[in-house]
Amino acid sequence: MVAARITVNGKETPISPATPHTTVLDFLRDRGLTGTKEGCAEGECGACSVLVARPGVNKPTDWVAVNACLVPVAALDGQEIVTSEGLATPGADGTPPTLHPVQEEMAVRGGSQCGYCTPGFVCSMASEYYRPDRCASAHADANGHADAEAHGDAEHGPNGFDLHSLSGNLCRCTGYRPIRDAAFAVGEPAADDPLAQRRDQPAPAPAATTYAQDDSVFLRPSTLAETLQVLRERPDAVVVAGSTDWGVEVNIRSRRANCVVAIDRLPELRELRVESDHLEIGAAVTLTEIERRLDGTVPLLAELFPQFASRLIRNSATFGGNLGTGSPIGDSPPVLLALEASLVLADADGERVVPLADYFTGYRQTVRRPGELIRAVRIPLPLAPVTAFHKIAKRRFDDISSVAIAFALDIEDGVVRKARIGLGGVAATPIRALATEAALEGKPWSAETVQAAADVLRAQGTPMSDHRASAIYRSAMLGQSLKKLYAQTSEAVSS
């Protein structure tokens, strides 16, 4: 058996003696790479972000920023990462290193004060710096540099920099304007930039991994069939994809598992196919990959993605993981319910297809049997022409929703022919608003219809009061969301 190894800043190093639950963050810091910081241990602050070489969307390799505090280091067996220390070019004969262009811009534009969050910002910024389809606008010069103030909108720079790439990074003292200025000022990578050149070579292939220490084991089988056999033999195993949920359990609740099985690189779970009557999305395709590969062709998903956690989380999170937890406040279930999605569930005996509306059975409980996992999500085609996703939360981005509402309506000649509404945060499970759908179907898309249906929608579910919102507020937001949809669409539908 080949010993588990990882390449860090160009140097290969064994993972041993780290335990299977050791995070990439702790692994790096134990080896003196202390630029990677722990701020929250939950994937919310980005102080721990590092770059991972992954199969690219537009090039063989993308440099993807991930939260090192959530990912088990064993999950990166055979993989390649770069930390903030690895971005600079080492100096010769004891001379100081040459700063990376992103580091240089952060320094000259005052993007760092106490400096604690800065290495994480730098890595997230570098991921966007190396995004192959980042295109400079007419405001940029020949090298892609631009005046940081000459931007077309608040979230995109003249150099093509998307500020959503920093939505998972928090700064507690500097303020965001100089950080934004630095992001909007970086140019294009130089032709001899080694990390830019690395994008033209294939990303490391997934390594079949069996890493055991201290009576626990981390497994990465090579195929789905092997995985399902392991799950049959080890029904107690914890299945992880991006580890964005399990990593929090390990860090905050000190949970440990005797067996962790990684499925994020299984080829059978990494497909995205458009058939004549449905779209099939593999359970281990990351949300960022789905977003970029679909490129807005499913408008309801396109509305969901910017509001789902942060770019750092979306770089690792999957539909399979979000649905597998059975959480009533996950953001994807309401959207997928409105899209009438079904799940392809697989075990060692075969597959079955379950409508998502029948999948949830209770609080964090589902119809999934021991040894069974989600292989794919299927969305029927054609899509409803009128869609919207409304997320009610205390923060605009990177927050857990108080209420999430997704709409998918077919409106012909001013009449609602079909309505599908998914709700999250108002019951023990994500639910379809069946009574509201019935109140809309067959009725004119009018203020009177919407008012009556909004009264029905306010009574859907069994909302509770907690630190995020009161039950009364949640119910009120349900009704208001339908009125908001009508206000946003009534003119377009009538024309």
pLDDT tens profile 234-258: 999 999 999 999 999 999 999 999 9
**pLDDT the model gives residue 86:** 96
Same domain, 337 and 394: no
- pLDDT tens digit string along 195-226? 999 999 999 999 999 999 988 999 999 999 99
**pLDDT the model gives residue 399:** 87
Average pLDDT of the residues in 145-168: 79
Using the predicted structure, report yes or no on whether residue 118 has a pLDDT greater than 60. yes
- CA separation for the pair 127, 87 (Å, rounded): 11
Q: Could you say which DSSP state residue 76 is in?
A: G
**pLDDT the model gives residue 141:** 57
**pLDDT the model gives residue 355:** 98
Same domain, 370 and 411: no
**pLDDT the model gives residue 135:** 87
**pLDDT the model gives residue 155:** 86
Please report whether residue 222 resides in a domain.
no
What phi-psi label fits residue 39: left (phi over 0), alpha (psi between -120 and 50 degrees) or beta?
A: alpha
Same domain, 281 and 412: no
Q: In the structure encoding, which two tokens stand for residue 352, read together?
A: 């079955």
Same domain, 370 and 396: no
Q: Which of 323, 349, 380 is the last residue of a domain?
A: 380
Using the predicted structure, report yes or no on whether residue 370 has a pLDDT greater than 80. yes
Same domain, 328 and 201: no
Q: Which of 335, 359, 380 is the last residue of a domain?
A: 380
Same domain, 372 and 430: no
CATH code of residue 277: 3.30.465.10
Same domain, 91 and 6: yes
Same domain, 335 and 423: no
Same domain, 13 and 131: yes
Q: If pLDDT is split at 50, 70 and 90, which confidence band does 154 have?
A: confident
125-151 CB burial, b ≥16 within 10 A, e <16: bbbbbbbbebebeebbeeebbbebeeb
Please report whether residue 236 resides in a domain.
no
- Number of structural domains the chain divides into: 3
Long-range residue pairs from 286-290, CB within 8 A, at least 24 positions apart, any chain? 286/242, 286/314, 286/315, 286/316, 286/317, 286/318, 287/314, 287/315, 287/317, 287/318, 287/319, 288/64, 288/314, 288/315, 289/57, 290/319
Using the predicted structure, report yes or no on whether residue 160 has a pLDDT greater than 90. yes
**pLDDT the model gives residue 146:** 56
Q: Is-contact 67 120, C-beta < 8 A?
A: no
- CA separation for the pair 394, 400 (Å, rounded): 8
Q: Which of 332, 355, 380 is the last residue of a domain?
A: 380
- CA separation for the pair 339, 407 (Å, rounded): 8
Q: In the structure encoding, which two tokens stand for residue 417, read together?
A: 């022919």
466-487 CB burial, b ≥16 within 10 A, e <16: eebbeeeebbbbbbbbbebbbe
Q: What is the percentage of the chain residues whose pLDDT exceeds 70?
A: 96
| Domain range for 442 | 386-494
CATH code of residue 169: 3.10.20.30
The SS3 assignment for 36 reads coil
**pLDDT the model gives residue 49:** 98
- pLDDT tens digit string along 316-347? 999 999 999 999 999 999 999 999 999 999 99
Q: If pLDDT is split at 50, 70 and 90, which confidence band does 32 have?
A: very high
Average pLDDT of the residues in 68-78: 97
- CA separation for the pair 280, 49 (Å, rounded): 30
Q: Is-contact 482 490, C-beta < 8 A?
A: no
